[in-house]
């Protein structure tokens, strides 16, 4: 492990999480002005076997994937192969069905397309057939007029953009990530992991309520299907999905919104649960730990990476190795901000990247990135030259959550 003396506070926080029993296995990496200053890992990768978490241990990072997928689309736009402002139907004619002819690629990237739900249940046999899932979405009508509102496309984001990429290039998002992002930058990062990587991937564990200061009790927003949770039926049996997005504001308005979020999480028919639960990972034994999920490479929730690989991706973005600086600046310009039709909370998105908001609380207004289920964080900050990656296998609790990742990020900013 390595930690620059200037970031001793970060190491203290990281070690305290293990001493307090909050972590099972985790890793945290930071680059400052392109140079590695923090590379920490500890704990257990598989609680069943006791396999230790090592320097190169990867883990499934859920929606951290969305930022990587966005970079693929932005690169195609830079190359003149894709017009982000043009209708999706220009490259995918079938998509125009159901009144979607005016939906643009930008609408997909900013969660404005009105297609947060796959209306028909996706059979397990299709989990690795992304074009088949995309075809289901192509036949649907949007749930709101595209461009007039936004709602988190938790899983459909990836199937929609993945099909655009396939129509333009003939390749999958995962193939382009390997050839143009992970390969050239030598990153431990896969959207669709090969068997040799799956064998050493950390095993996720559903959230618990470890010991912590009662004053530190944020309400955590739901997110995609938890790992190792058997299929359940009925509102009483369902704690709701998860997102890894946190709320720490107080006041009557926030409490009213939280109550609405909790009601939606307990309602199987809510837009939130419908958006976050199909395709249903929990139908596979072990959920997100199942090789089918790790191998499938869903472009919204299919990233397998190390903390160093995730931080290295943001280092590449900030350095101009992946996108031209003007492309990144435009992509970070918020396209939507405000109440989210799916999550019900205020969210803010550029082109595929989360911006600071109630659901992406950051110490800096110039930070961008994406969180993942359970608390994983990928973060870049061009103004401060920071690139950060945090991954773990003990996921945060659905409602009480914890601040492990945010404590670490805050410690980095305190050290700069």
pLDDT at 262: 84
142 DSSP assignment: P
| Whole-angstrom distance, CA of residue 231 vs CA of residue 229 | 7
Point out which residues pair with 46 in neighbouring strands.
51
Q: Which residues of 20-40 are buried (b: 16+ CB within 10 A; e: fewer)?
A: eebbbbbbbbbbbeeebbbbb
What angle is formed at CA 297 by the lines to CA 240 and CA 138, rounded to 5 degrees? 75
CA pair distance 348, 105, nearest whole angstrom: 17
Class (C level, CATH) for 1-416: alpha beta
Q: Give per-residue pLDDT as tens, 26-42.
A: 999 999 999 999 999 99
234-270 residue pLDDT tens: 222 233 334 333 444 445 666 777 788 888 888 899 9
Specify the pLDDT at position 400: 35
3-state secondary structure 280-310: CHHHCCCHHHCHHHHHHCCCCCCEEECHHHH
Q: Where are the beta strands (DSSP E) in 47-187?
A: 51-52, 59-60
Residue 160 Cα distances to 88, 149, 314, angstroms: 9, 18, 23
* pLDDT (0 to 100) of residue 265: 83
pLDDT in the model for residue 255: 73
Assess contact for 307 and 56: CB atoms under 8 A: no
In the prediction, which pLDDT does 227 show? 54
**pLDDT number for residue 254:** 64
Reference 168, options 83, 70, 108; nearest CA is 83
Below-50 pLDDT ranges, the chain = 209-226, 228-250, 398-401
């Amino acid at each position: 492990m390595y930690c620059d003396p200037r970031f001793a506070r970060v190491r203290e926080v990281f070690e305290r999480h293990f001493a307090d029993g909050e972590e099972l296995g985790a890793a945290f990496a930071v680059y400052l002005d392109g140079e590695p200053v923090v590379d920490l890992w500890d704990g257990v990768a598989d609680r069943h076997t006791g396999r230790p978490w090592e320097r190169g241990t990867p883990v499934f990072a859920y929606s951290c994937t969305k930022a990587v997928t966005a970079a693929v689309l932005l690169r195609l736009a830079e190359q003149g192969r894709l017009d982000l402002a043009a209708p999706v139907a220009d490259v995918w004619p079938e998509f125009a069905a159901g009144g979607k002819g005016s939906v643009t690629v930008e609408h997909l990237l900013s969660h404005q397309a009105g297609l947060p739900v796959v209306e028909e249940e996706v059979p397990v046999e299709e989990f690795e057939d992304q074009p088949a899932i995309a075809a289901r979405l192509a036949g649907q009508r949007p749930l709101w007029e595209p461009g007039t509102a936004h709602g988190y496309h938790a899983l459909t984001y990836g199937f929609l953009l993945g099909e655009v990429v396939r129509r333009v290039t003939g390749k999958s998002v995962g193939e382009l990530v390997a050839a143009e992002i992970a390969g050239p930058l030598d990153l431990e990062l896969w959207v669709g992991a090969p068997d040799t990587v799956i064998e050493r991937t950390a095993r996720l564990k559903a959230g618990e309520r470890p010991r912590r200061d009662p004053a530190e009790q944020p309400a955590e927003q739901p997110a995609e299907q938890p790992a190792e949770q058997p299929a359940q039926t009925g509102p009483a049996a369902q704690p709701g999905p998860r997102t890894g997005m946190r709320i720490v504001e107080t006041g009557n308005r926030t409490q009213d919104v939280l109550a609405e979020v909790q009601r939606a999480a307990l309602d199987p028919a809510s837009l939130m649960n419908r958006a976050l639960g199909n395709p249903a990972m929990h139908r596979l034994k072990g959920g997100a730990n199942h090789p089918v999920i790790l191998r499938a490479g869903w472009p919204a929730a299919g990233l397998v990476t190390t903390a160093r690989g995730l931080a290295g991706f943001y280092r590449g973005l900030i350095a101009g190795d992946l996108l031209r600086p003007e492309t990144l600046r435009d992509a970070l310009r918020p396209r939507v901000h405000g109440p989210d039709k799916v999550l019900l909370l205020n969210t803010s998105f550029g082109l595929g990247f989360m911006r600071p908001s109630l659901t992406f609380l950051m110490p800096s207004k110039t930070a961008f990135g994406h969180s993942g289920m359970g608390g994983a964080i990928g973060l870049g900050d061009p103004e401060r030259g920071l690139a950060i990656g945090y991954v773990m296998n003990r996921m945060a609790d659905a409602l009480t959550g914890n601040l492990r990742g945010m404590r670490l990020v805050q410690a980095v900013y305190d050290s700069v």
